[in-house]
């Protein structure tokens, strides 16, 4: 493997020694920084161990193959050798992806925003399906899920919802989900059994802190109102719902999930800060055209990225041509394979671009 991997493994062992020998009770910031680096290198260490085992297995099988004379055992050996080489190639791609310079936002929490697009009530129902899918995947991988805002429909769907997904590396896992998700199925509202195509828009924003966004006094206008539910009926007699308007950009966010106006304001501010930080992030990315080109998709809300075809039980990601025929389990949160494929493809694209520039 590369010198970069050797350096990463040496640094991993160095941090391991430092953490075991030195007390950081008086310097929590240094300890937190070291632990963050240690966690990021832990995955490289684990993958490299598997890589070296696969290498040794290939050497052993190659030696066995040259000395074996029994046709049946020789055929078995060749089959195992093919599997070991495929495993080595996959691990190499995964390690290369981990060794790429990390996006500074990768370890941030995520603001997930899902909106119904074309398709009326059917689109709203699919918003609920996607939120359930992301919630199951998040909880399975140790991320917590907190609903920030929602706008329900009478049939149990959502016109719009926002949630906070918290945990180390959340943005690195969910970042490729931004874009238009298309669903093809027979709606529950369809009596003739006809397949309908509907769309849902997903936005994944890294959570931002107030100190990272320049909010001048008077930039934000706050309004309070009564919370309302599906159909417009009031579900709260007090004015606890909060609407924030960022005057310079015209961005409006609302939150009515809590009974406390203060808590709703806090959640709405999380949404607003993340939207403003995303503008800064896009300006940063767009300033380097090549950096933008190397990304798997632009994260643009207008880009159709995936189709969920119920009649065929198929999920296809159009950016990398990746298809699975396990739609039911996919919607039950088993989306890790798709996310890993996107991460690896993105890493390989960046590596190839980097080699072309050298």
Count of other CB atoms within 10 angstroms of residue 240: 21
**pLDDT, tens digit (0-9, with 9 covering 90-100), for 249-304:** 999 988 887 777 878 888 888 889 999 988 888 877 665 545 444 445 544 556 79
* Residue 202 banded pLDDT, cuts 50, 70, 90: very high
Same domain, 181 and 313: yes
116 and 248 part of one domain: yes
**Residues 220-229 pLDDT 10s:** 898 887 665 5
Residue 105 domain-assigned (yes or no): no
Does any domain span residue 224?
A: yes
In a domain, residue 304? The reply is yes
Looking at the structure of the chain, the number of domains it has is 2
CATH number at 153 reads: 3.30.70.1660
Q: Are residues 234 and 120 in the same domain?
A: yes
Distances 126 to 5, 62, 131, 174, 184 between C-alpha atoms, Å: 43, 51, 8, 18, 10
For residues 77 and 151, membership in a common domain is answered with no
Give every strand in the sheet of 196-206, ordered side by side: 144-152, 158-166, 110-116, 196-206, 179-185, 304-309, 314-317, 322-324
The reply to whether 357 falls in a domain is no
In a domain, 243, yes or no: yes
Domain boundary among 99, 120, 146: 99
Residue 353 pLDDT class (50, 70, 90 cuts): low
- The predicted pLDDT at position 298 comes to 47
**Residue 84, pLDDT score:** 93
Quote the pTM value. Answer: 0.71
The answer to whether residues 178 and 273 belong to one domain is: yes
Last residue of a domain, one of 64, 99, 134: 99
- Per-residue pLDDT tens over the stretch 181-193: 999 999 877 767 7
Q: Among residues 72, 99, 126, which one ends one of the domains?
A: 99
The answer to whether residues 56 and 116 belong to one domain is no
Residues 52 and 126 grouped into a single domain: no
Place of tokens 């603001």: 111
Ranges 143-147, 230-234, 285-289: which has the least confidence: 230-234
Cα separations (Å) of 14 from 21, 37, 102? 11, 11, 20
In a domain, 215, yes or no: yes
Run of H or E including 222: strand 220-225
One domain, residues 297 and 153: yes
* In a domain? residue 223: yes
Average pLDDT of span 39-54: 87
Q: How confident is the model at residue 115 (pLDDT cuts 50, 70, 90)?
A: very high
Shared domain check, 137 and 31: no
Identify the sign of the CA torsion 166, 171, 174, 177.
positive
pLDDT at 3 over 70: yes
Rounded distance between C-alpha atoms, residue 318 and residue 161, angstroms: 25
Structural domain boundaries, residue 32: 3-99
Same domain membership, residue 128 and residue 71? no
> With 90 as the cut, is the pLDDT of residue 352 above it?
no
pLDDT > 90 fraction of the chain, expressed in percent and rounded: 35
**pLDDT of 358 above 50:** no
Q: Kindly state whether residues 63 and 166 are assigned to the same domain.
A: no
What pLDDT score was predicted for residue 357?
A: 47
Residue 221 lies in a domain: yes
257 shares a domain with 197: yes
């Amino acid at each position: 493997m590369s010198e970069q991997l050797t350096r990463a493994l040496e640094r991993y062992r160095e941090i391991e020694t430092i953490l075991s020998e030195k007390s950081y009770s008086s310097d929590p910031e240094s300890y937190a920084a070291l632990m963050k680096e240690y966690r990021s290198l832990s995955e490289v260490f684990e993958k490299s161990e598997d890589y070296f085992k696969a290498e040794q297995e290939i050497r052993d099988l190659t030696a066995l193959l040259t000395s074996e004379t029994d046709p049946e055992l020789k055929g078995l050996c060749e089959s195992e050798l093919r599997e070991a080489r495929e495993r080595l190639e996959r691990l190499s791609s995964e390690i290369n992806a981990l060794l790429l310079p990390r996006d500074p936002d990768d370890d941030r929490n995520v603001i997930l925003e899902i909106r119904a697009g074309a398709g009326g009530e059917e689109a709203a129902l699919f918003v609920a399906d996607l939120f359930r899918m992301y919630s199951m995947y998040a909880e399975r991988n140790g991320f917590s899920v907190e609903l920030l805002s929602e706008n329900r429909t009478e049939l149990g769907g959502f016109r719009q919802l926002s949630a906070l997904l918290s945990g180390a590396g959340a943005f690195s896992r969910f970042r490729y989900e931004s874009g238009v998700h298309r669903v093809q199925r027979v709606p529950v509202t369809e009596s003739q059994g006809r397949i309908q195509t509907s769309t849902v828009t997903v936005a994944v924003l890294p959570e931002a802190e107030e100190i990272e966004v320049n909010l001048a006094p008077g930039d934000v206008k706050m309004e309070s109102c009564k919370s309302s539910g599906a159909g417009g009926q009031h579900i709260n007699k007090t004015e606890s719902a909060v609407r924030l308007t960022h005057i310079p950009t015209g961005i409006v966010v609302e939150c009515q999930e809590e009974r406390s106006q203060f808590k709703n304001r806090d959640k709405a501010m999380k949404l607003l800060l993340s939207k403003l930080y995303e503008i800064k992030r896009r300006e940063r990315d767009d300033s380097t055209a090549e950096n933008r080109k190397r990304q798997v998709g632009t994260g643009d809300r207008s880009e159709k990225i995936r189709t969920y075809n119920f009649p065929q039980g198929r999920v296809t990601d159009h950016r990398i041509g990746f298809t699975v025929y396990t739609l039911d389990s996919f919607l039950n949160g088993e989306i890790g394979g798709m996310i890993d494929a996107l991460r690896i493809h993105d890493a390989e694209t960046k590596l190839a671009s980097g080699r072309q520039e050298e």
